[in-house]
Chain A
Amino acid sequence: MARIIAYCVVGFILLPNIIIIIASFSELRFITFPPSGFTIDWYVEALHRQEFLASFRTSLLLSATVTAIGTVIALMTALSLRVLTGPVRNWAVGVVMSPLMLPGIVIGIALLQFFSLLRVPTSGWTLVLGHLVITIPYAVRLITDSLSALPRNLEAAASSLGANPLRTVLAVVIPCIKPGVIAGALFVFIVSFENITISIFLAAPQTMTLPVRIFGYTEQGVETWLVAICSMTILFTLLLMGIIERFIGVRRIIYATK
Protein backbone atom coordinates (compact mmCIF):
# COMPACT_ATOMS: atom_id res chain seq x y z
CA MET A 1 0.00 0.00 0.00
CA ALA A 2 2.71 2.43 1.05
CA ARG A 3 4.65 1.44 -2.03
CA ILE A 4 1.68 2.09 -4.34
CA ILE A 5 1.16 5.58 -2.90
CA ALA A 6 4.87 6.36 -3.15
CA TYR A 7 5.04 5.28 -6.79
CA CYS A 8 1.85 7.20 -7.61
CA VAL A 9 3.51 10.37 -6.29
CA VAL A 10 6.63 9.64 -8.36
CA GLY A 11 4.34 9.06 -11.34
CA PHE A 12 2.71 12.43 -10.71
CA ILE A 13 6.16 14.04 -10.69
CA LEU A 14 7.16 12.41 -13.96
CA LEU A 15 3.78 12.66 -15.72
CA PRO A 16 4.12 16.04 -17.50
CA ASN A 17 7.55 15.15 -18.86
CA ILE A 18 6.40 11.80 -20.18
CA ILE A 19 3.29 13.42 -21.67
CA ILE A 20 5.45 16.00 -23.47
CA ILE A 21 7.72 13.36 -24.97
CA ILE A 22 4.77 11.23 -26.15
CA ALA A 23 2.75 14.21 -27.46
CA SER A 24 5.70 15.51 -29.48
CA PHE A 25 5.34 12.61 -31.94
CA SER A 26 1.71 13.35 -32.76
CA GLU A 27 0.84 13.93 -36.40
CA LEU A 28 -1.60 16.76 -35.67
CA ARG A 29 -0.48 20.38 -35.56
CA PHE A 30 -2.64 21.21 -32.57
CA ILE A 31 -2.22 19.40 -29.31
CA THR A 32 -4.29 16.33 -28.69
CA PHE A 33 -3.64 13.64 -26.16
CA PRO A 34 -3.47 10.73 -26.69
CA PRO A 35 -1.62 11.65 -29.89
CA SER A 36 -2.69 10.32 -33.25
CA GLY A 37 -0.14 8.71 -35.53
CA PHE A 38 3.62 8.91 -35.24
CA THR A 39 5.95 11.39 -36.88
CA ILE A 40 9.19 13.17 -36.18
CA ASP A 41 8.25 16.03 -38.50
CA TRP A 42 7.78 18.43 -35.60
CA TYR A 43 11.36 17.91 -34.51
CA VAL A 44 12.44 18.76 -38.06
CA GLU A 45 10.22 21.86 -38.03
CA ALA A 46 11.51 22.85 -34.59
CA LEU A 47 15.09 22.63 -35.82
CA HIS A 48 14.19 24.98 -38.67
CA ARG A 49 12.86 27.68 -36.37
CA GLN A 50 15.62 30.28 -36.47
CA GLU A 51 14.48 32.13 -33.34
CA PHE A 52 14.64 28.93 -31.30
CA LEU A 53 18.03 27.99 -32.65
CA ALA A 54 19.23 31.48 -31.72
CA SER A 55 17.76 31.10 -28.22
CA PHE A 56 19.31 27.68 -27.83
CA ARG A 57 22.70 29.15 -28.79
CA THR A 58 22.15 32.03 -26.34
CA SER A 59 21.27 29.59 -23.57
CA LEU A 60 24.26 27.36 -24.26
CA LEU A 61 26.67 30.28 -24.46
CA LEU A 62 25.19 31.87 -21.35
CA SER A 63 25.30 28.65 -19.30
CA ALA A 64 28.86 27.89 -20.46
CA THR A 65 30.06 31.39 -19.55
CA VAL A 66 28.28 31.32 -16.20
CA THR A 67 29.73 27.87 -15.50
CA ALA A 68 33.29 28.97 -16.30
CA ILE A 69 33.17 32.19 -14.26
CA GLY A 70 30.86 30.92 -11.53
CA THR A 71 32.85 27.79 -10.76
CA VAL A 72 36.05 29.80 -10.35
CA ILE A 73 34.38 32.37 -8.09
CA ALA A 74 32.66 29.60 -6.11
CA LEU A 75 35.95 27.76 -5.70
CA MET A 76 37.71 30.89 -4.44
CA THR A 77 34.75 31.65 -2.17
CA ALA A 78 34.68 28.15 -0.70
CA LEU A 79 38.43 28.26 -0.07
CA SER A 80 38.12 31.67 1.57
CA LEU A 81 35.22 30.54 3.76
CA ARG A 82 37.40 27.64 4.96
CA VAL A 83 39.92 30.13 6.30
CA LEU A 84 37.40 32.42 8.00
CA THR A 85 36.14 31.76 11.53
CA GLY A 86 33.68 33.20 14.02
CA PRO A 87 31.08 35.88 13.30
CA VAL A 88 32.91 37.07 10.17
CA ARG A 89 32.44 33.62 8.66
CA ASN A 90 28.74 33.56 9.60
CA TRP A 91 28.21 36.93 7.96
CA ALA A 92 30.11 35.92 4.85
CA VAL A 93 28.17 32.65 4.58
CA GLY A 94 24.92 34.55 5.07
CA VAL A 95 25.65 36.97 2.24
CA VAL A 96 27.00 34.35 -0.17
CA MET A 97 24.08 31.98 0.44
CA SER A 98 21.35 34.65 0.55
CA PRO A 99 20.22 34.11 -3.08
CA LEU A 100 18.94 30.67 -2.02
CA MET A 101 16.68 32.35 0.53
CA LEU A 102 15.39 35.13 -1.70
CA PRO A 103 12.64 34.50 -4.27
CA GLY A 104 13.89 34.67 -7.86
CA ILE A 105 11.53 37.51 -8.70
CA VAL A 106 13.00 39.67 -5.93
CA ILE A 107 16.57 39.05 -7.12
CA GLY A 108 15.54 39.66 -10.73
CA ILE A 109 13.80 42.94 -9.95
CA ALA A 110 16.60 44.12 -7.63
CA LEU A 111 19.23 43.49 -10.31
CA LEU A 112 17.13 45.06 -13.06
CA GLN A 113 16.71 48.24 -11.01
CA PHE A 114 20.41 48.18 -10.18
CA PHE A 115 21.33 47.98 -13.87
CA SER A 116 18.86 50.65 -14.90
CA LEU A 117 20.22 52.99 -12.21
CA LEU A 118 23.69 52.47 -13.68
CA ARG A 119 22.14 53.01 -17.14
CA VAL A 120 23.36 49.58 -18.23
CA PRO A 121 20.98 48.18 -20.87
CA THR A 122 19.99 44.52 -20.59
CA SER A 123 22.30 42.31 -22.60
CA GLY A 124 24.13 39.01 -22.48
CA TRP A 125 26.30 40.36 -19.66
CA THR A 126 23.42 41.39 -17.40
CA LEU A 127 22.16 37.82 -17.81
CA VAL A 128 25.57 36.42 -16.94
CA LEU A 129 25.74 38.51 -13.77
CA GLY A 130 22.20 37.58 -12.73
CA HIS A 131 22.86 33.90 -13.29
CA LEU A 132 26.14 34.10 -11.37
CA VAL A 133 24.26 35.47 -8.37
CA ILE A 134 21.82 32.58 -8.23
CA THR A 135 24.15 29.72 -9.22
CA ILE A 136 27.25 30.46 -7.15
CA PRO A 137 25.62 29.44 -3.83
CA TYR A 138 24.94 25.93 -5.16
CA ALA A 139 28.53 25.49 -6.31
CA VAL A 140 29.89 26.93 -3.05
CA ARG A 141 27.76 24.43 -1.14
CA LEU A 142 28.98 21.46 -3.20
CA ILE A 143 32.64 22.52 -3.06
CA THR A 144 32.45 23.27 0.66
CA ASP A 145 30.97 19.80 1.13
CA SER A 146 34.05 18.29 -0.53
CA LEU A 147 36.40 20.61 1.35
CA SER A 148 34.97 19.72 4.73
CA ALA A 149 35.92 16.09 4.08
CA LEU A 150 39.59 17.10 3.85
CA PRO A 151 41.64 16.96 7.05
CA ARG A 152 42.28 20.41 8.48
CA ASN A 153 46.01 19.83 8.66
CA LEU A 154 46.33 18.94 4.97
CA GLU A 155 47.42 22.46 4.07
CA ALA A 156 49.81 22.52 7.02
CA ALA A 157 51.34 19.24 5.85
CA ALA A 158 51.80 20.62 2.34
CA SER A 159 53.40 23.81 3.56
CA SER A 160 55.71 21.96 5.93
CA LEU A 161 56.92 20.08 2.87
CA GLY A 162 57.80 23.43 1.36
CA ALA A 163 54.77 24.26 -0.78
CA ASN A 164 53.65 27.88 -0.69
CA PRO A 165 49.90 28.58 -0.16
CA LEU A 166 49.22 29.06 -3.84
CA ARG A 167 50.91 25.80 -4.71
CA THR A 168 49.17 24.07 -1.80
CA VAL A 169 45.82 25.06 -3.26
CA LEU A 170 46.64 24.23 -6.85
CA ALA A 171 48.59 21.00 -6.37
CA VAL A 172 47.08 19.55 -3.19
CA VAL A 173 43.65 20.94 -2.33
CA ILE A 174 42.07 21.20 -5.77
CA PRO A 175 42.93 17.65 -6.89
CA CYS A 176 41.36 16.36 -3.65
CA ILE A 177 38.08 18.23 -4.18
CA LYS A 178 37.85 17.67 -7.93
CA PRO A 179 34.56 15.70 -7.79
CA GLY A 180 32.95 18.49 -5.79
CA VAL A 181 34.17 21.11 -8.23
CA ILE A 182 32.93 19.14 -11.26
CA ALA A 183 29.56 18.54 -9.60
CA GLY A 184 29.39 22.24 -8.77
CA ALA A 185 30.17 23.19 -12.36
CA LEU A 186 27.55 20.84 -13.81
CA PHE A 187 24.97 22.05 -11.34
CA VAL A 188 25.70 25.66 -12.20
CA PHE A 189 25.22 24.78 -15.86
CA ILE A 190 21.87 23.08 -15.31
CA VAL A 191 20.46 25.75 -12.98
CA SER A 192 21.53 28.45 -15.42
CA PHE A 193 20.16 26.57 -18.41
CA GLU A 194 16.70 26.03 -16.96
CA ASN A 195 16.28 29.38 -15.21
CA ILE A 196 13.46 31.67 -16.23
CA THR A 197 12.58 33.81 -13.20
CA ILE A 198 15.84 35.79 -13.40
CA SER A 199 16.30 35.63 -17.17
CA ILE A 200 12.88 37.08 -17.89
CA PHE A 201 13.93 40.34 -16.20
CA LEU A 202 17.51 40.55 -17.44
CA ALA A 203 17.28 39.28 -21.03
CA ALA A 204 17.25 41.68 -23.94
CA PRO A 205 15.07 40.86 -26.97
CA GLN A 206 18.16 39.63 -28.83
CA THR A 207 19.43 37.58 -25.86
CA MET A 208 16.27 35.66 -25.03
CA THR A 209 17.13 32.33 -23.46
CA LEU A 210 15.31 29.16 -24.43
CA PRO A 211 12.95 29.05 -21.40
CA VAL A 212 12.03 32.72 -21.90
CA ARG A 213 11.33 32.08 -25.58
CA ILE A 214 9.17 29.04 -24.79
CA PHE A 215 7.29 31.08 -22.19
CA GLY A 216 6.59 33.78 -24.77
CA TYR A 217 5.16 31.23 -27.18
CA THR A 218 3.03 29.25 -24.71
CA GLU A 219 1.00 32.38 -24.07
CA GLN A 220 0.03 32.48 -27.74
CA GLY A 221 -1.47 29.01 -28.01
CA VAL A 222 0.52 25.89 -28.59
CA GLU A 223 1.41 23.83 -31.61
CA THR A 224 3.15 20.51 -31.71
CA TRP A 225 6.55 21.80 -32.84
CA LEU A 226 6.72 23.68 -29.51
CA VAL A 227 6.08 20.36 -27.75
CA ALA A 228 9.02 18.94 -29.70
CA ILE A 229 11.24 21.76 -28.43
CA CYS A 230 10.15 21.10 -24.84
CA SER A 231 10.81 17.42 -25.38
CA MET A 232 14.33 18.19 -26.59
CA THR A 233 15.09 20.29 -23.49
CA ILE A 234 13.92 17.42 -21.28
CA LEU A 235 16.15 14.98 -23.16
CA PHE A 236 19.04 17.44 -22.88
CA THR A 237 18.60 17.65 -19.10
CA LEU A 238 18.40 13.85 -18.88
CA LEU A 239 21.66 13.66 -20.79
CA LEU A 240 23.34 16.06 -18.36
CA MET A 241 21.97 14.09 -15.41
CA GLY A 242 23.32 10.92 -16.98
CA ILE A 243 26.76 12.54 -17.22
CA ILE A 244 26.63 13.57 -13.57
CA GLU A 245 25.50 10.10 -12.49
CA ARG A 246 28.25 8.47 -14.55
CA PHE A 247 31.09 10.59 -13.25
CA ILE A 248 30.27 11.68 -9.74
CA GLY A 249 27.00 10.09 -8.68
CA VAL A 250 23.60 11.55 -8.04
CA ARG A 251 24.18 11.90 -4.30
CA ARG A 252 25.74 15.26 -5.04
CA ILE A 253 22.76 16.54 -7.02
CA ILE A 254 20.50 15.63 -4.14
CA TYR A 255 22.85 17.32 -1.71
CA ALA A 256 23.00 20.49 -3.77
CA THR A 257 19.24 20.87 -4.00
CA LYS A 258 18.64 20.50 -0.26
Chain B
Amino acid sequence: MSMATTAAPRLAFLREITLDRIITAILFVSLAAFFFVVLVIPFGLLLSTAFRQMDLMTYQFQDGYSFHQFLRFFSDAYYLRILFDTVVLALETTFVTLVLAYPLALYMSRAGVRERQILRLLSVSPILISIVVMNFGWVIVMAPQGLVNNTLMGLGLIDEPLPLLYSHVVVVLGLVHVHLPFMILAIDNGLGSIQPEVLKAAESLGASRWKTLRNVIWPLSINGVVSGSIVVFALTASSFVTPMLLGGAWTKTLATVAYQQILFTLDSPFGAAICLILLSVTATFSIGLTRLAIRLQPHRAAPAAPAPRP
Protein backbone atom coordinates (compact mmCIF):
# COMPACT_ATOMS: atom_id res chain seq x y z
CA MET B 1 0.00 0.00 0.00
CA SER B 2 2.72 2.43 0.99
CA MET B 3 4.60 1.43 -2.13
CA ALA B 4 1.59 2.28 -4.27
CA THR B 5 1.06 5.74 -2.73
CA THR B 6 4.66 6.78 -3.28
CA ALA B 7 4.81 5.32 -6.76
CA ALA B 8 1.63 6.96 -8.02
CA PRO B 9 2.80 10.60 -7.88
CA ARG B 10 6.08 9.53 -9.40
CA LEU B 11 4.28 7.96 -12.30
CA ALA B 12 2.06 11.01 -12.63
CA PHE B 13 5.18 13.14 -12.80
CA LEU B 14 6.55 10.91 -15.56
CA ARG B 15 3.33 11.16 -17.47
CA GLU B 16 3.43 14.95 -17.16
CA ILE B 17 6.88 15.11 -18.67
CA THR B 18 5.60 14.25 -22.08
CA LEU B 19 3.76 17.37 -23.23
CA ASP B 20 3.79 20.12 -20.61
CA ARG B 21 7.45 19.84 -19.79
CA ILE B 22 8.30 19.97 -23.45
CA ILE B 23 6.14 23.05 -23.92
CA THR B 24 7.79 24.66 -20.91
CA ALA B 25 11.25 23.83 -22.22
CA ILE B 26 10.42 25.23 -25.65
CA LEU B 27 9.02 28.35 -24.02
CA PHE B 28 12.17 28.91 -21.97
CA VAL B 29 14.52 28.31 -24.86
CA SER B 30 12.57 30.50 -27.28
CA LEU B 31 12.33 33.37 -24.78
CA ALA B 32 16.04 33.11 -24.03
CA ALA B 33 16.76 33.06 -27.76
CA PHE B 34 14.50 36.07 -28.36
CA PHE B 35 16.19 38.24 -25.74
CA PHE B 36 19.60 37.04 -26.84
CA VAL B 37 18.92 38.00 -30.45
CA VAL B 38 17.25 41.37 -29.85
CA LEU B 39 19.35 42.57 -26.91
CA VAL B 40 22.62 40.76 -26.33
CA ILE B 41 23.74 40.44 -29.95
CA PRO B 42 22.95 44.04 -31.04
CA PHE B 43 24.69 45.44 -27.98
CA GLY B 44 27.69 43.17 -28.48
CA LEU B 45 27.77 44.30 -32.09
CA LEU B 46 27.73 47.95 -31.02
CA LEU B 47 30.71 47.25 -28.75
CA SER B 48 32.72 45.61 -31.50
CA THR B 49 31.78 48.16 -34.18
CA ALA B 50 33.26 50.95 -32.05
CA PHE B 51 36.70 49.36 -32.44
CA ARG B 52 36.56 49.13 -36.21
CA GLN B 53 37.14 51.61 -39.00
CA MET B 54 35.05 52.44 -42.01
CA ASP B 55 36.20 53.53 -45.43
CA LEU B 56 33.99 56.56 -46.04
CA MET B 57 34.43 56.30 -49.82
CA THR B 58 33.05 52.80 -50.16
CA TYR B 59 31.24 52.41 -46.80
CA GLN B 60 33.03 49.12 -46.23
CA PHE B 61 34.48 48.11 -42.87
CA GLN B 62 38.26 47.93 -42.86
CA ASP B 63 39.94 44.85 -41.41
CA GLY B 64 41.18 44.73 -37.85
CA TYR B 65 40.29 46.31 -34.54
CA SER B 66 41.82 49.41 -32.99
CA PHE B 67 41.19 52.37 -30.70
CA HIS B 68 41.15 54.62 -33.75
CA GLN B 69 37.65 56.06 -33.14
CA PHE B 70 38.38 56.85 -29.50
CA LEU B 71 41.73 58.47 -30.35
CA ARG B 72 39.97 60.48 -33.02
CA PHE B 73 37.40 61.68 -30.49
CA PHE B 74 39.78 62.52 -27.65
CA SER B 75 42.41 64.19 -29.83
CA ASP B 76 39.95 66.65 -31.37
CA ALA B 77 39.13 69.80 -29.40
CA TYR B 78 35.81 70.04 -31.24
CA TYR B 79 34.58 66.72 -29.83
CA LEU B 80 36.05 67.37 -26.39
CA ARG B 81 34.12 70.61 -26.31
CA ILE B 82 30.92 68.71 -27.17
CA LEU B 83 31.64 66.18 -24.43
CA PHE B 84 32.12 69.04 -21.97
CA ASP B 85 28.95 70.83 -23.15
CA THR B 86 26.93 67.62 -22.83
CA VAL B 87 28.08 67.07 -19.25
CA VAL B 88 27.35 70.70 -18.33
CA LEU B 89 23.91 70.56 -19.96
CA ALA B 90 23.06 67.32 -18.16
CA LEU B 91 24.29 68.69 -14.81
CA GLU B 92 22.30 71.91 -15.19
CA THR B 93 19.18 70.02 -16.15
CA THR B 94 19.55 67.54 -13.31
CA PHE B 95 20.02 70.36 -10.80
CA VAL B 96 17.02 72.41 -11.98
CA THR B 97 14.89 69.25 -12.14
CA LEU B 98 15.82 68.43 -8.56
CA VAL B 99 15.02 71.95 -7.35
CA LEU B 100 11.57 71.81 -8.98
CA ALA B 101 10.74 68.20 -8.17
CA TYR B 102 11.64 68.18 -4.48
CA PRO B 103 9.02 70.66 -3.21
CA LEU B 104 6.31 68.97 -5.27
CA ALA B 105 7.26 65.48 -4.06
CA LEU B 106 7.44 66.78 -0.49
CA TYR B 107 4.00 68.33 -0.78
CA MET B 108 2.62 65.14 -2.36
CA SER B 109 3.93 63.04 0.51
CA ARG B 110 1.92 65.12 3.00
CA ALA B 111 -1.22 65.60 0.90
CA GLY B 112 -4.42 63.59 1.34
CA VAL B 113 -4.88 60.35 -0.56
CA ARG B 114 -7.10 61.76 -3.31
CA GLU B 115 -5.00 64.89 -3.87
CA ARG B 116 -1.82 62.82 -3.94
CA GLN B 117 -3.30 60.49 -6.56
CA ILE B 118 -4.26 63.40 -8.80
CA LEU B 119 -0.90 65.13 -8.39
CA ARG B 120 0.93 61.91 -9.15
CA LEU B 121 -1.11 61.31 -12.28
CA LEU B 122 -0.60 64.88 -13.51
CA SER B 123 3.11 64.74 -12.83
CA VAL B 124 3.68 61.45 -14.67
CA SER B 125 1.46 62.44 -17.60
CA PRO B 126 4.37 63.87 -19.66
CA ILE B 127 5.91 60.39 -19.78
CA LEU B 128 2.87 59.32 -21.78
CA ILE B 129 2.98 62.18 -24.30
CA SER B 130 5.56 62.27 -27.07
CA ILE B 131 8.68 64.35 -26.40
CA VAL B 132 8.24 66.01 -29.79
CA VAL B 133 4.78 67.25 -28.90
CA MET B 134 5.86 68.61 -25.53
CA ASN B 135 8.88 70.35 -27.02
CA PHE B 136 6.60 71.79 -29.63
CA GLY B 137 4.58 73.39 -26.83
CA TRP B 138 7.74 75.21 -25.72
CA VAL B 139 8.28 76.42 -29.27
CA ILE B 140 4.89 78.15 -29.06
CA VAL B 141 5.75 79.61 -25.65
CA MET B 142 9.13 80.91 -26.77
CA ALA B 143 8.47 81.83 -30.41
CA PRO B 144 8.96 85.46 -31.57
CA GLN B 145 5.16 85.85 -31.48
CA GLY B 146 4.83 83.39 -28.60
CA LEU B 147 3.51 83.64 -25.06
CA VAL B 148 6.60 85.08 -23.39
CA ASN B 149 7.48 87.64 -26.05
CA ASN B 150 3.91 88.82 -26.52
CA THR B 151 3.43 89.13 -22.76
CA LEU B 152 6.63 91.13 -22.33
CA MET B 153 5.77 93.37 -25.28
CA GLY B 154 2.23 93.82 -24.00
CA LEU B 155 3.63 94.94 -20.67
CA GLY B 156 5.90 97.34 -22.54
CA LEU B 157 9.03 95.78 -21.09
CA ILE B 158 10.56 95.11 -24.51
CA ASP B 159 10.05 96.65 -27.93
CA GLU B 160 11.23 93.77 -30.08
CA PRO B 161 10.82 90.01 -29.58
CA LEU B 162 13.73 88.43 -27.72
CA PRO B 163 15.53 85.61 -29.55
CA LEU B 164 14.41 83.06 -26.95
CA LEU B 165 14.03 80.09 -29.25
CA TYR B 166 17.20 78.15 -30.06
CA SER B 167 18.93 79.46 -26.94
CA HIS B 168 20.66 77.42 -24.26
CA VAL B 169 18.06 78.38 -21.66
CA VAL B 170 15.21 76.95 -23.75
CA VAL B 171 17.08 73.68 -24.25
CA VAL B 172 17.53 73.35 -20.47
CA LEU B 173 13.88 74.27 -19.93
CA GLY B 174 12.68 71.68 -22.45
CA LEU B 175 14.92 68.98 -21.00
CA VAL B 176 13.82 69.81 -17.44
CA HIS B 177 10.21 69.59 -18.50
CA VAL B 178 10.58 66.25 -20.25
CA HIS B 179 12.50 64.61 -17.41
CA LEU B 180 10.80 66.13 -14.38
CA PRO B 181 8.40 63.16 -13.92
CA PHE B 182 11.29 60.74 -13.39
CA MET B 183 12.75 62.90 -10.63
CA ILE B 184 9.36 63.44 -8.98
CA LEU B 185 8.65 59.71 -8.93
CA ALA B 186 12.09 58.85 -7.54
CA ILE B 187 11.88 61.42 -4.73
CA ASP B 188 8.27 60.48 -4.05
CA ASN B 189 9.50 56.91 -3.66
CA GLY B 190 12.27 58.00 -1.30
CA LEU B 191 9.97 60.15 0.83
CA GLY B 192 7.38 57.38 0.96
CA SER B 193 9.82 55.15 2.81
CA ILE B 194 10.10 57.58 5.75
CA GLN B 195 8.14 56.32 8.75
CA PRO B 196 5.63 58.93 10.01
CA GLU B 197 6.79 58.16 13.58
CA VAL B 198 10.19 59.62 12.75
CA LEU B 199 8.62 62.97 11.90
CA LYS B 200 6.49 62.87 15.05
CA ALA B 201 9.60 62.15 17.06
CA ALA B 202 11.39 65.16 15.55
CA GLU B 203 8.39 67.35 16.30
CA SER B 204 8.04 66.16 19.87
CA LEU B 205 11.73 66.82 20.43
CA GLY B 206 11.07 70.44 19.52
CA ALA B 207 12.57 70.61 16.05
CA SER B 208 11.24 73.43 13.89
CA ARG B 209 9.76 72.53 10.50
CA TRP B 210 12.86 73.80 8.72
CA LYS B 211 15.12 71.83 11.03
CA THR B 212 13.04 68.69 10.54
CA LEU B 213 13.30 69.14 6.80
CA ARG B 214 17.04 69.75 6.85
CA ASN B 215 18.12 67.22 9.45
CA VAL B 216 15.51 64.47 9.15
CA ILE B 217 13.56 64.45 5.89
CA TRP B 218 16.34 65.47 3.47
CA PRO B 219 18.88 62.89 4.73
CA LEU B 220 16.26 60.15 4.68
CA SER B 221 15.15 61.03 1.16
CA ILE B 222 18.67 61.18 -0.25
CA ASN B 223 18.33 57.74 -1.83
CA GLY B 224 15.44 58.93 -3.93
CA VAL B 225 17.31 62.11 -4.84
CA VAL B 226 20.37 60.12 -5.90
CA SER B 227 18.49 57.60 -8.00
CA GLY B 228 16.34 60.33 -9.57
CA SER B 229 19.45 62.36 -10.41
CA ILE B 230 21.14 59.33 -11.96
CA VAL B 231 18.13 58.65 -14.19
CA VAL B 232 17.66 62.30 -15.21
CA PHE B 233 21.37 62.78 -15.90
CA ALA B 234 21.50 59.66 -18.08
CA LEU B 235 18.35 60.58 -20.00
CA THR B 236 19.46 64.18 -20.50
CA ALA B 237 22.99 63.35 -21.57
CA SER B 238 21.62 60.96 -24.18
CA SER B 239 18.76 63.10 -25.48
CA PHE B 240 18.98 64.40 -29.01
CA VAL B 241 15.39 65.27 -29.93
CA THR B 242 15.03 68.18 -27.50
CA PRO B 243 18.47 69.72 -28.21
CA MET B 244 17.78 69.55 -31.94
CA LEU B 245 14.23 70.88 -31.74
CA LEU B 246 14.73 73.65 -29.19
CA GLY B 247 18.44 74.30 -29.60
CA GLY B 248 18.64 74.41 -33.36
CA ALA B 249 21.47 73.25 -35.53
CA TRP B 250 24.28 74.75 -33.49
CA THR B 251 23.44 73.02 -30.23
CA LYS B 252 25.65 69.95 -30.28
CA THR B 253 25.61 67.17 -27.71
CA LEU B 254 27.14 63.70 -27.78
CA ALA B 255 23.78 62.24 -28.73
CA THR B 256 23.07 64.69 -31.58
CA VAL B 257 26.55 64.01 -32.97
CA ALA B 258 26.00 60.24 -32.72
CA TYR B 259 22.63 60.68 -34.44
CA GLN B 260 24.23 62.63 -37.29
CA GLN B 261 27.14 60.21 -37.63
CA ILE B 262 24.77 57.25 -37.88
CA LEU B 263 22.01 58.64 -40.09
CA PHE B 264 23.80 61.24 -42.25
CA THR B 265 27.58 60.73 -42.27
CA LEU B 266 26.97 56.95 -42.13
CA ASP B 267 30.17 56.50 -40.12
CA SER B 268 28.81 53.76 -37.90
CA PRO B 269 32.07 52.93 -36.05
CA PHE B 270 32.42 56.54 -34.93
CA GLY B 271 28.73 56.67 -34.00
CA ALA B 272 29.12 53.47 -31.98
CA ALA B 273 32.23 54.85 -30.23
CA ILE B 274 30.30 58.00 -29.25
CA CYS B 275 27.54 55.78 -27.84
CA LEU B 276 30.10 54.00 -25.67
CA ILE B 277 31.62 57.31 -24.55
CA LEU B 278 28.11 58.46 -23.68
CA LEU B 279 27.46 55.30 -21.67
CA SER B 280 30.74 55.74 -19.79
CA VAL B 281 29.84 59.35 -18.98
CA THR B 282 26.50 58.31 -17.48
CA ALA B 283 28.07 55.34 -15.67
CA THR B 284 30.78 57.62 -14.21
CA PHE B 285 28.14 60.06 -13.01
CA SER B 286 26.04 57.36 -11.37
CA ILE B 287 29.03 55.76 -9.63
CA GLY B 288 30.41 59.14 -8.61
CA LEU B 289 27.12 60.40 -7.21
CA THR B 290 26.51 57.16 -5.32
CA ARG B 291 30.01 57.38 -3.78
CA LEU B 292 29.46 61.03 -2.90
CA ALA B 293 26.17 60.23 -1.20
CA ILE B 294 27.86 57.53 0.87
CA ARG B 295 30.67 59.86 1.85
CA LEU B 296 28.25 62.60 2.89
CA GLN B 297 26.24 60.11 4.92
CA PRO B 298 28.76 57.74 6.43
CA HIS B 299 26.24 56.35 8.91
CA ARG B 300 23.86 55.22 6.21
CA ALA B 301 23.91 52.28 3.88
CA ALA B 302 24.80 52.80 0.24
CA PRO B 303 21.91 54.23 -1.74
CA ALA B 304 20.93 51.70 -4.30
CA ALA B 305 21.36 52.69 -7.91
CA PRO B 306 18.08 52.22 -9.80
CA ALA B 307 18.43 48.50 -10.23
CA PRO B 308 16.31 46.59 -12.72
CA ARG B 309 13.39 45.47 -10.64
CA PRO B 310 10.44 43.71 -12.16
What is A's interface to B at a CB cutoff of 8 Å?
A: 2-3, 5-6, 9-10, 12-17, 19-20, 23, 30-34, 73, 76-78, 80-81, 92-107, 109-114, 116-117, 129, 132-133, 137, 140-141, 144-145, 164-166, 190, 193-197, 200-201, 210-211, 214-215, 218-219, 222, 226-227, 230, 233-234, 237, 240-241, 245, 250-251, 253-254, 257-258
Contacts and interface: CB of A to CB of B under 8 A. Distances in A.
A100 B132 CA distance: 20
Given A19-B141, A31-B145, A222-B140, 9 more contacts: A78-B310, A81-B310, A105-B259, A109-B271, A113-B268, A166-B20, A214-B130, A219-B245, A237-B125
Interface in B127-157: 127-141, 143, 145-147, 150
A257 B185 contact: yes
Nearest to B149: A33
B123 A10 contact: yes
Contacts of A226: 136
A132 B38 contact: yes
B241 interface: yes
Interface in B97-116: 100-101, 103-104, 106-108, 110
A106 B104 contact: no
Shortest beta-carbon contacts, A-B, top 9: A16-B137, A97-B308, A103-B238, A6-B107, A114-B42, A194-B130, A110-B42, A144-B310, A32-B145
22 contacts: A5-B103, A6-B119, A9-B103, A9-B104, A9-B123, A10-B119, A13-B126, A15-B141, A16-B135, A17-B129, A19-B137, A19-B141, A98-B39, A112-B262, A117-B45, A164-B16, A193-B130, A197-B241, A211-B132, A219-B244, A233-B130, A233-B133
B107 A12 contact: no
A30 B239 CA distance: 28
Nearest to A159: B16
A165 B16 CA distance: 9
Nearest to B146: A33
Contacts of A20: 133, 136-137, 140
A111 B100 CA distance: 35
Nearest to B138: A16
B272 interface: yes
A256 B286 CA distance: 22
Contact of A254 (B120, B150, B275): B120
B41 interface: yes
Contact of A104 (B32, B49, B104, B238): B238
Interface stretch (B23-31, B62-70, B71-79, B290-298): B23-31
B191 to A, nearest CB: 13
Contacts of A237: 125, 128-129
B245 A33 contact: no
Contacts of A14: 122, 125
Contacts of A32: 145-146, 150
B145 A30 contact: yes
Contacts of B35: 95-96
A80 B46 contact: no
B310 A111 contact: no
B124 interface: yes
Contacts of B84: none
A109 B136 contact: no
Interface in B39-96: 39-43, 45-46, 49
Contacts of A112: 262
A197 B122 CA distance: 23
A256 to B, nearest CB: 9
Contacts of B237: 103
Contacts of B221: none
Contacts of B40: 95
Contacts of B32: 92
B22 to A, nearest CB: 11
A16 B136 contact: yes
Contacts of A104: 238
A177 to B, nearest CB: 13
B251 interface: no
A96 B310 contact: yes
A196 B46 contact: no
Contact of A17 (B110, B137, B310): B137
B39 A109 contact: no
A144 B310 CA distance: 6
B180 interface: yes
A73 B39 contact: no
A20 B20 CA distance: 54
A141 B119 CA distance: 23
B282 interface: yes
Contacts of B171: none
